[in-house]
Amino acid sequence: MTEMRFAANLKWLFTEVEFEARFDAAAAAGFSGVEYASPYAHEPAELRRRLGDAGLTQVLINTPMGAPGTPTRAGLACVPGLESEFRAGVERGLEYADALGCGLLHVVGGVVPPGVGRDEAFARYVANIAWAAERADGTGVRLVLEAQNKRDVPGFVLDSQAQAAAVAEAVGADRVGLLLDFYHLQVDEGDLIRTYRRFADRVFHLQVADPPYRHEPGTGEIGWRGVFAAVRASGYDGWIGCEYAPAAGTVAGLGWMRTVAE
Ligand SMILES: O=C(O)C(=O)[C@@H](O)CO
Ligand SMILES: [Mg+2]
């Protein structure tokens, strides 16, 4: 069976130290891969050097998003009228992914803007993702789409894993797949194991956190032993991003990897 590979999400983990120091901290804690949503405040060469010095693989980055509290805080792929900003964001994401040797770019969907119908926003989303898929073709970077739960992100453009999978299928399932985040799936849909199995062949990346508080696996309501057994049994060979808020310190909280994920 395939060995599971965990990536430290440096936006969420190792926040005990400054962002620049999180690479070494992740490597010292035993991680060999990292992800973070937004590399854009840093020069690619600096990030590449930090990855290299720490011996880490950059697993995933996101396309640029607006600041918290702004209409594009969860991405702009579904926002009519911002097509050129969306395209510039994809270009920037691909440029960083290339510089960091990162194989996955999360094209973040966005929140349906006030005054825009859901159908109109969804149609814009599909058209933008199709453009991004064409643009990424031949770059070596694959795109991922994530359904985010509507309790935390009200109005998010994607309703479900099924809808995300249908968009990936429509625009080219060889280069666009799912970022399946078990936290969002549990909050909005449940039925984790069956849903995972249904879409396993579309999943390019997984993320974990346990509701209700989005802490480490094993701190909340998900039956992780069964979930990880299903992931192993599927032959999943991608990374699993640790995108959670440590309950009481990052390193102190890593024990779940030897207990619920073993
Ligand atoms: O919030 C999440 O879940 C994510 O994976 C983020 O990268 C979305 O921006
Ligand atoms: Mg996520």
> For residue 65, which atom of ligand 1 is closest to its CA?
9
d(CA 24, CA 80): 41
Number of structural domains the chain divides into: 1
d(CA 64, CA 170): 24
Mutate to test the pocket of ligand 1, among 144, 146, 178, 239 (most ligand atoms within 8 A of CB): 146
CA proximity to 253, closest of 209, 198, 201: 209
What is the CATH classification number for the domain harbouring 42? 3.20.20.150
Mutate to test the pocket of ligand 1, among 60, 102, 181 (most ligand atoms within 8 A of CB): 181
| Ligand 1 neighbourhood includes 108 CB (under 6 angstroms) | yes
| Ligand 1 neighbourhood includes 9 CB (under 6 angstroms) | no
pLDDT at position 173 is 82
Give the whole-number percent of the chain exceeding pLDDT 90: 96
Can you tell me the mean pLDDT for 213-235? 97
Can you tell me the mean pLDDT for 204-226? 98
225 within domain boundaries: yes
| Ligand 1 neighbourhood includes 188 CB (under 6 angstroms) | no
State both tokens at 230.
């299903």
What are the pLDDT digits (tens) for 81-123? 999 999 999 999 999 999 999 999 999 999 999 999 999 999 9
In the DSSP assignment, the letter for residue 148 is: -
62 C-alpha to ligand 1 centroid (Å):
8
Domain that holds residue 123: 5-257
Residues lining ion ligand 2 (Cβ < 5 A) are 181, 207, 243
Is pTM beyond 0.90? Reply is yes
Which one of 46, 120, 134, 146 is the catalytic residue?
Answer: 146
Region of 101 on the Ramachandran plot (φ > 0 left; ψ -120 to 50 alpha; else beta): left
Other beta carbons within 10 angstroms of residue 240's beta carbon come to 22
* Ligand nearest to the CA of residue 149, numbered in listed order: 1
95 an active-site residue?
no
262 within domain boundaries: no
Lowest mean pLDDT among 15-29, 64-78, 186-200: 64-78
State both tokens at 56.
């880490």
Check whether 1 has a pLDDT greater than 70.
no
243 an active-site residue?
yes
pLDDT at position 3 is 82
Check whether 2 has a pLDDT greater than 90.
no
State both tokens at 232.
């192993």
Check whether 226 has a pLDDT greater than 90.
yes
pLDDT at position 92 is 98
Other beta carbons within 10 angstroms of residue 226's beta carbon come to 12
What are the pLDDT digits (tens) for 145-182? 999 999 999 999 999 999 999 999 999 989 999 999 99
Q: ipTM strictly over 0.85? A: yes
Can you tell me the mean pLDDT for 20-34? 98
